[in-house]
Amino acid sequence: MSNGYNVAVVGATGAVGTKMIQMLEQTTLPLKKVVLLASKRSAGKTLQFKGETLIVEELVPESFEGIDLALFSAGGGISATFAPEAVKRGAVVVDNTSHFRMDPQVPLVVPEVNKEALKKHKGIIANPNCSTIQMMVALEPIRQKAGLDRIIVSTYQAVSGAGARAVEELKREAQDYLNGVPASEWQAKILPAGADKKHYPIAFNALPQIDKFAEDDYTFEEWKMVNETKKIMEDAAIKVAATCVRIPVASGHSESVYIETKEKISVQDVRETLASAPGVVLEDDPSQQVYPQAIECVDQKETFVGRIRKDLDIENGLHLWVVSDNLLKGAAWNSVQIAETLHEMDLLHI
């Protein structure tokens, strides 16, 4: 970097990419140039950056000539092909897809939790899955205090996690409902998983399937939460199980998280710990009906935690409600925050 970084956004027209642009507008990183990349379909479209009109370019390997930092969110296949091309040309890649997440050579980073892992990067850094990120931000401070033996999480995930077309699908179905069209006539094409055989309505529904089914009747989204948690926390022994559910919310993932700590910790201690934890906003006052809500976390960078209470039967068991903007902390903000952290640690180079 001479007088600012040249940054490429891959997948700039997508649900995550457009938020990446917003986060770059607010970043503390010194920027020289921002290059917006997408498929041939979107080449020539224009997008605004800090009041300037930028033209979207078609992604090709040469797009990365002179680029210092490349933020990828155009799907795993695109990252597999083009992230190495970017690194070859001297760029550091922060990848939002699952493609490199479990690669032992690639740090998987939530800055509030494991920024030290960045020191080992070899050009590519992986951004975890959105559902994992917010859970890590909420649980790491508790783990530091009392250890963590077990996590059982049920997610309530917003449709924007499945991309811009899924949001359109929710809006279309909601409009059909208001127009009196019976649900059997709605045209579900994307959810629960674009690549799967069957599609079901999401409006006024809850779908206990995110991504396709993998081993043991868990979905890939559920396995991501299990495997990524173990990698980020560097604890292969931690017990994790997840049930991931799509609900008709546009943005903001909510999670019901049950944990068993290794040591006893009071609810008051958990509240105090979380009140001062990085990236966490404590919203927990049942007497005043105060708790985190998806609608209120939209466009916020923090992770909101409430409904903290003891399990009724298990001595070291606790329940929490964890909410965050899936497109910001779950994706675009975590990526830009990784880049800012790399810069602060003088690691934004290969």
Bridge partners (DSSP) listed for residue 239: 150
Binding site for ligand NAP (CB under 6 A): 11-17, 38-39, 41-42, 59, 73-76, 78, 96-97, 127, 129-130, 161, 163-164, 330-331
Q: Which is nearer to ligand 3JN, 129 or 134 (CB)?
A: 129
Handedness of CA 302, 98, 193, 190 (dihedral sign): positive
Under the binding rule (CB under 6 A), the answer on residue 132 touching ligand 3JN is no
- 231 is a site residue for ligand 3JN (CB under 6 A): no
Cβ at position 110, least distance to ligand NAP in Å: 11
Q: Which residue is nearest to ligand NAP (CB)?
A: 14
316 phi, psi to nearest 5 deg: -100, 20
SS3 75: coil
d(CA 258, CA 317) in angstroms, rounded, equals 7
C-alpha–C-alpha distance, residues 137 and 256, integer Å: 14
Tell me which of 130, 244, 297, 343 is the catalytic residue: 130
The residue from 1, 57, 66, 76 that contacts ligand 3JN (CB under 6 A) is 76
Q: Examine the residue annotation and report whether 99 is marked as an active-site residue of this protein.
A: no
The answer for residues whose C-beta is within 8 angstroms of residue 69's C-beta and 6 or more apart is 5, 6, 7, 8, 29, 91, 92, 93, 94, 339, 348
Residue 157 or 261 with smaller CB distance to ligand 3JN:
157
Query: Of 326 and 335, which has the nearer Cβ to ligand 3JN?
Result: 326
Residue 164 binds which of ligand 3JN, ligand NAP, none (CB < 5-8 A, kind-dependent)? ligand NAP
130 is catalytic: yes
281 strand-pairing partners: 304
Distances (CA, A) of 239 to 32, 60, 96: 45, 42, 25
CB of 257 to ligand NAP, least distance (A): 17
- The one of ligand NAP, ligand 3JN, none whose footprint includes residue 209, by CB under 5 to 8 A per kind, is none
Q: How many CA atoms lie within 13 A of 14 on its CB side?
A: 22
Q: Find the shortest distance in angstroms from Cβ 164 to ligand NAP.
A: 4
Report the nearest approach of ligand NAP to the CB of residue 86 (Å): 13
The distance of closest approach from Cβ of residue 11 to ligand NAP in the complex, given in angstroms and rounded to an integer, is 3
97 is an interface residue for ligand 3JN by CB under 6 A: yes
> Any residues with CB less than 8 A from the CB of 266 and at least 6 apart, and which?
none
Q: For the window 147-166, what string marks contact with ligand 3JN as x by the rule CB under 6 A?
A: ----------x---xx----
| Nearest to 225, CA basis, from 132, 156, 154 | 132
DSSP letter, residue 89: T
| Choice among 99, 121, 244, 253 that is catalytic | 253
SS3 290: strand
* 323: nearest Cα among 261, 249, 273: 249
In the bound complex, what is the minimum distance in angstroms from residue 299's beta carbon to ligand 3JN? Answer: 17
Residues that bind ligand 3JN (CB under 6 A): 76, 97-98, 129-130, 157, 161-162, 210, 224, 326
Task: Report, as residue numbers or ranges, the catalytic residues.
Answer: 130, 253
